[in-house]
Amino acid sequence: MLSVYDDTTFTSVLSLDSLPDPERTHFMWGFSKDFGMCGVRVGVLYTRSHEIRKAVNQLAVFHGCPGPVQYVLSQFLSDRDWLDNVYFPTNKKRLREAQNILVDGLREIGIPVLKSSGGLYVWADFRKFLKSQTFEAEMELFWKFLDEKLLISPGKAFCCYEPGWFRVVFSDSVDKIYLGIQRLEQMLQAETADPVANKVSAVEAELPNSEDEPSENHANIPLDEVSEAYSDSKKIIVY
């Protein structure tokens, strides 16, 4: 809600005069996205539901926010003058510039994206680059991205009902965005420029593997193992 980078105004559900069902309306917010604190798993839950509060309080016994972290974040939030006049304007300006660079770059290489006005990523349409309109083909493309040191999250990881959509993050430095677009363009050009090689590879993939040369079909790897691949990919991404 604090990362809206165009003229759109975010409207919180809590600002409404009345709610159709207050007992089933819950407000959640975390520090990690709006403040660039990836990994700081601290957030806020506002609810009028007694049952929800009771359940969360029981979980908080084992997952409470550490005192030192609470202190640092409280000091951080207390500097409202810096937040309102320096951090938020600067952050929104950089997000807007980065989003424009990524969207323009993707458009130039034939990848449309859904229009967005907030957040740290865009929803990009890679359907035409799938070998088939299946989630198996989506995962195969995901692994090809990783091979090129591109960590682009597949849509199924976010419960997308249609294969071929990927989440592309742009909240990074401009030079890294340009590098990512360059790698992506080179990879997609190689995929489309050598259809004969692709057909040969497809035939080879159907042949039985010899015992001394085992191979792995990434497309058959279950989705629940993708998160592990995300972690492993941190070791191979080089800027």
Give the per-residue pLDDT at 65. 86
Give the per-residue pLDDT at 226. 52
| HEC-encoded secondary structure of 99-136 | HHHHHHHHHHCCCCECCCCECCEEEEECHHHCCCCCHH
Q: Round to whole Å and give the CA distance between 147 and 153.
A: 14
- Asked if residues 23 and 49 have their Cβ atoms less than 8 Å apart, the reply is yes
Strands (E), 14-160: 26-30, 43-47, 121-125, 153-154
Q: Which of 24, 27, 32, 23 is nearest to 10 (CA)?
A: 27
Q: Round to whole Å and give the CA distance between 134 and 156.
A: 10
Question: In this structure, what token pair is assigned to residue 1?
Answer: 């809600």
Give the per-residue pLDDT at 233. 44
Encode pLDDT of 101-132 as tens digits. 999 999 999 999 999 899 999 999 999 999 99
Q: Tell me which amino acid residue 213 is.
A: E
Give the per-residue pLDDT at 59. 87
Encode pLDDT of 123-169 as tens digits. 999 999 999 999 999 999 999 999 999 999 999 999 999 999 999 99
Encode pLDDT of 45-99 as tens digits. 999 999 999 999 998 888 888 899 999 999 989 999 999 999 999 999 999 999 9
Q: What is the dihedral of CA 63, 66, 72, 77, to 10 degrees?
A: 40
Give the per-residue pLDDT at 236. 39
Give the per-residue pLDDT at 203. 37
Confidence class for position 194, pLDDT limits 50, 70, 90: low
**3-state SS, residue 26:** strand
